A and B are shown apart, each in its own frame.
Chain A
Amino acid sequence: MKRYPWLSALESEAIEIMREGIAAAARPVMLYSIGKDSSVLLHLARKAFWPAPPPMPLLHVDTTWKFREMIAFRDRVAAEAGVKLIVHTNREGVDAGITPFTHGSACFTEAMKTVALRQALDGGGYDIVFVGARRDEEKSRAKERVFSLRSPTHQWDPKAQRPEPWNLYNTHLQTGESLRVSPLSNWTEADVWRYIAAEEIPIVPLYYAAARPVVKRDGLWIMVDDDRMPLEPGETPRMRRVRFRTLGCYPLTAAIESDAATLAAIIAETIATDHSEREGRLIDHDDEASMERKKREGYF
């Protein structure tokens, strides 16, 4: 971390935030999406509470459309960290046959991510929910507090946020309310990559460039991860050197063409790029300000 002296300050701040959350929590949980931010978050939790294992379970909302590599990685990493892994899927959604192809990205995300998350949080009765959100991800997150209050129905009220002076986090809750706690609030995408490199944190191989089967849709590279993906007439998967800047459900997360097969190359590419990481996420484009609306409804 010598080259980027602020990384150790970001690490200390994130650890401080986690410890404040745990000190206040009756039922803590960490939302674990398997992505790079989740990997950093889990790594920080291991450091914050060492030599104890992280004192909160991981919660993964599985839409059943994650890349296969992600699921394998998830199970291995959770076991290694000595944490309990809770996997929740919206069974009603599965039974109703909701897929990203048949119902569109908005409807699919609502049922399999937003509703599923609410189900999991209600079921667990969690009061402190750690998330890997960063303020540089998009504009409404730039406005969010480190300890962000959610109503009993998991809604965020951007116009009534608690003031949050210094590092004095108010953790008092009424019945049913919860706090989303974001230790990575002040990190940027480049910080996350540099930290992963400095700390040698394992990440899903999909982040590294490799030849993968893809098709081009609406100008974006979509990876054909399994045979559930219906191909359009004339569409044949081609092998391309691609990688992912963010990971989600495979039909909803586009790859970028890249030769960056090492962390150094990824970092160089991240700093040089003139496109934001969310560009590859289809749900953000559904309508303007879609993230704020989703968050108001309880999306993370």
Chain B
Amino acid sequence: MSPTLRFVLCGSVDDGKSTLLGRILQDTRQVFADEMERVAEDSRRYGTRGDAADLALLVDGLLDEREQGITIDVAYRAFETPRRRFIVADAPGHEQYTCNMATGASTAHLAVVMTDARKGILPQTARHTRIVAMLGVRHIVLAVNKMDLVDWDRDRFESIAAQYRAEVAGIGVTKVQAIPVSALTGDNLTRRGSASTWYDGPTLLEHLETVDAERPADRQPFRMPVQYVNRPNPDFRGYCGRVAAGTVSPGDQVLVSPAGTPAEVESIVVWGGERQQAARGDSVTLTLQPQVDVSRGDVIVAAGEPLEVADQFQARIVWMGDEPLTVGRPYRMKLHTQELGATVTRIRHRVGVSDGAELAAANLERNDLGVINLATTRPVPFAPFDESRALGGFILIDRATNATAGAGTITFPLMRAANLSWQAFDIDRAVRAQMKRQQARCLWLTGLSASGKSTVANLLERRLVTGGRHTYLLDGDNLRHGLNRDLGFTEADRVENIRRVAEVARLMVDAGLIVIASFISPFRSEREFARSLFEPGDFMEIFVDASVEVCARRDPKGLYARALNGEIRNFTGLSSPYERPENPDVHLDTEKLSPEQCVKLVIQQMEEVE
């Protein structure tokens, strides 16, 4: 159990959050006499309790708050009882101040969610619960307030608690403790209420004093993001940071992520000396042996327990910017001590606040919750937020206004191949294709001369490039002038021609490109050979189909005429066979379809296979 419990008070407007906090502070003797005098004075001026002291005024500290009788921004208050020390964040209930609530919730171990016994669970109650859960809070106290106004009705309390438990199921909250209270009378806050004899659970304070709400830290490997490199003289190079997980001692073997450089911890330097161990939460300065290259933003980790490194993530986000979150707009991202550029590549969905529904969204407005895909400008070491708040939580900063525009939590990396350390992973086809943000593959167009292959291939390439894809078009013209210059038109040469084309296409797919190969390729066996060079799904056979009669009529290069005249031997469709594909991935009937329609069909099929 940690010596300090940080908790956040949240819930809808007028549920009595500030009053409850004021009451707890007063009952635990945290309020000075002169403060109370001030509250009494303020109560006569702004209070809502007639001449009685309005305890909310103890914590609503801003002029606007007292004048409007609401909480605008989160107030922090530290207090202690003989059993524990507390830091409480009193969060605003209004929807428009949700991001201030999120600020208060982000550092909390536990949330006290308040609800008015007369009103039950309101949409804002559910919204706050969802946000605190997203920000990492696992323990919740549901304080059903104003019980005095419903005559301490047990059924009422239990039905609210049951409804709440049902609503929070599946959002990551592991423990809900429901407590019937009255902030006004103080019942069940710091002392047992005489009217609720049916309630045998702890008072709010008892629960807060004894709950173990921190995530277990045991058995986690050592991680420390480097905040600052301390170089007072050429002989000393210390790496300053706060231990995010695990423990460290001199002699420990470590790696510097993302580079993966190995080193040994030489010493843990503290003021005027050294220490033998540091654990999670400690701010320390490490020296390493040898003196490797380490900068702010690197993470020093236990050797053998490297951190994942990636540049694309799926993440949850609560949006806080005045401008909506927009796909493609560049933001600054701060993740532990690392700062870099980031772009939202996709909004997967917006989260319905009251029911968690996945709603389609083109952008996210202020106070919206959503799930997004995010690409960073370089690979960063990280841990999923569920494993580590310190290494998986981030903010996005608007480049134009410098505003903190969003708070996010990494769910998982999108580029599985890049797991583990950067050093450890081979640059393979998936990595190269991922850098181009596409699935590399070979689109193989087969069909008679003049069936429309070149027209479709050219248009297809244009469409793909316009969509930001990286492509290359292989056809008889660009290969026969170079690589295949030595080949003629005998059957053997034509087979060799296709073999080389297929091999070149395979290399280009390996380089991460989308290759469009446009060849008559009349023989089933050679097309099967080409297919065999690729992973399943990476080769698409596209049959560009038109009858010999139609092709001969089109005859744009006059080839059919010359073949019919006997000037060209082994002409496919006339003097040499064309084996029609039996199960092409796409079948394009160019006698009926326009080139546009053909291209659309191909792209549709590509997306289906992705």
Contact = CB atoms under 8 A, between A and B. Distances in A.
Given A20-B227, A23-B227, A23-B228, A47 B64 contact: no
B4 A6 contact: yes
Contact of B62 (A12, A20, A143, A191): A143
Interface string A85-103: 0000000000000000000
B107 A166 contact: yes
A163 B64 contact: no
Contacts of B242: 12, 15-16
Contacts of A274: 32-33
A232 interface: no
Interface in A136-167: 136, 138-143, 145, 158-159, 161-167
A143 B271 CA distance: 32
Contact of A51 (B85, B135, B269, B283): B269
B87 interface: yes
Contacts of A140: 61-62
A186 B79 CA distance: 10
Interface string A50-83: 1111000000000000000000000000000000
Interface string B328-350: 00001011010000000000000
B73 interface: yes
A170 B100 CA distance: 15
**Main secondary structure on A side of the interface with B:** loop
A165 B106 contact: yes
A135 B34 CA distance: 17
Given A16-B227, A143-B74, A187-B78, A174 B402 contact: yes
A166 B34 CA distance: 33
Q: For chain B, which range describes its interface: under 10, 10 to 19, 20 to 34, or 35 or more residues?
A: 35 or more
B270 interface: yes
B271 A46 contact: yes
Contacts of A234: none
B103 interface: yes
B228 A50 contact: no
Interface in B332-384: 332, 334-335, 337
Contact of B283 (A46, A48, A138, A293): A48
A279 B285 contact: no
B4 A9 contact: yes
A134 B94 CA distance: 26
B62 A292 contact: yes
A275 B73 CA distance: 26
A188 B232 contact: no
B271 A50 contact: yes
Between A52, A165, A190, the greatest number of chain B beta carbons within 10 A of the residue's beta carbon is seen for A165
A282 to B, nearest CB: 13
B62 A52 contact: no
Given A9-B3, A51-B232, A276-B32, A165 B407 contact: yes
A240 interface: no
Interface stretch (B390-398, B450-458, B492-500, B563-571): B390-398
21 contacts: A5-B3, A6-B4, A9-B281, A12-B281, A46-B271, A47-B270, A48-B240, A49-B230, A50-B272, A142-B76, A158-B64, A163-B102, A166-B393, A167-B107, A167-B390, A168-B394, A168-B407, A172-B332, A172-B397, A172-B402, A289-B63
